[in-house]
Amino acid sequence: MSTDLSSSLLCKSLPVGVDTDVKFAEPWEAKVFAIIVGLAQEGHFTWSEWVECFSKEVAAETAVEAAGGSPRPYYEQWLGAAEKLFISKGVTTKEQLVARRFAVGSVGSTHMMKQ
C-alpha cells in the first residue's frame, strides 16, 4: 500500500497550527479523518486513490466557489470524498450509508446521500 503522505494537495490542505497538530472544529471531523487514515492503512484503498478522489471533490467545490456559490467546508469535502471512495471500493454501500445517517438523525445532510 502506498502512503505518500507528502502529497502536495494533502500538505497544503491540512489545517495545521504552528504546533503542527491537526486542528478539528468538531469531533466528527476528527472521526472522519481517523477513519480515512485507518482504512487506508488497512489496505482498503491506497493513499494515492484517496488523494485522487479528494482532489476531485476539492475541484468540484472550487468550481462552485468560482461560479459564485458557497463551497462546502473542508471536512465536509473529506466526508463527501470518503463516501464516494468507500462505495466505489466496496467498503460500504449507498444503502448502508443512508441507513446509518437515518439511524443517527443526519438524514438530509449535504453529503452524497442527497445526490
> Which comes out higher in pLDDT, residue 44 or 4?
44
In this prediction, residues 18-27 reach a mean pLDDT of 73
At residue 104, the pLDDT reads 75
* Amino acid (one-letter) located at 59: A
Question: For residue 87, what pLDDT is reported?
Answer: 94
Task: Read off the pLDDT band of 24 (50, 70, 90).
Answer: confident
The larger pLDDT score, comparing residue 12 to residue 42, is at 42
Structure confidence by residue, pLDDT tens digits, 42-83 = 999 999 999 999 999 999 999 999 999 999 999 899 989 999
Joined together, the cell numbers standing for residue 8 give 502536495
- 39 has pLDDT over 50: yes
How many angstroms separate the most distant Cα atoms in the chain?
A: 41
